[in-house]
Amino acid sequence: MPRFATHEVGIVVAVQVVVRGLGAPPDTSTGPVIVVGGHSPVFTGCRVAARHESVVENEEDGTEIAVCDPVAWSQVWPRLRRFYS
């Protein structure tokens, strides 16, 4: 399983990648950041773009999906490591 999956949406990084210490995406990845499940203190300019609506009533129903400003991954990666560790 690759660390980063490049699709039409760009580079996808899961929290598990951060926790396992697998290194940051390249700084050439300059697209917006999607944050699922609340706001992270690491990203700026976040605005709620959608809410997860489920037919099953559970803790994920209503979860916010935010779009945040692009970042320089080499600068925010150490902060993500501290936040999610």
Q: What is the pLDDT of residues 55-85, one digit of tens each?
A: 888 877 888 888 889 889 888 888 877 655 5
pLDDT of residue 9: 56
In this structure, are 76 and 65 located in the same domain? no
In this structure, are 40 and 15 located in the same domain? no
Q: Residue 60 to residues 13, 36, 52, 66, 78: CA-CA distances in angstroms? A: 20, 10, 7, 15, 28
pTM exceeds 0.75, yes or no: no
In this structure, are 38 and 64 located in the same domain? yes
In this predicted structure, the answer to whether residue 18 has a pLDDT above a threshold of 70 is no
The whole domain housing 83 covers: 1-25+72-85
Q: Residue 1 to residues 4, 6, 17: CA-CA distances in angstroms? A: 9, 12, 11
Q: What's the total number of domains in the chain?
A: 2
In this structure, are 64 and 78 located in the same domain? no
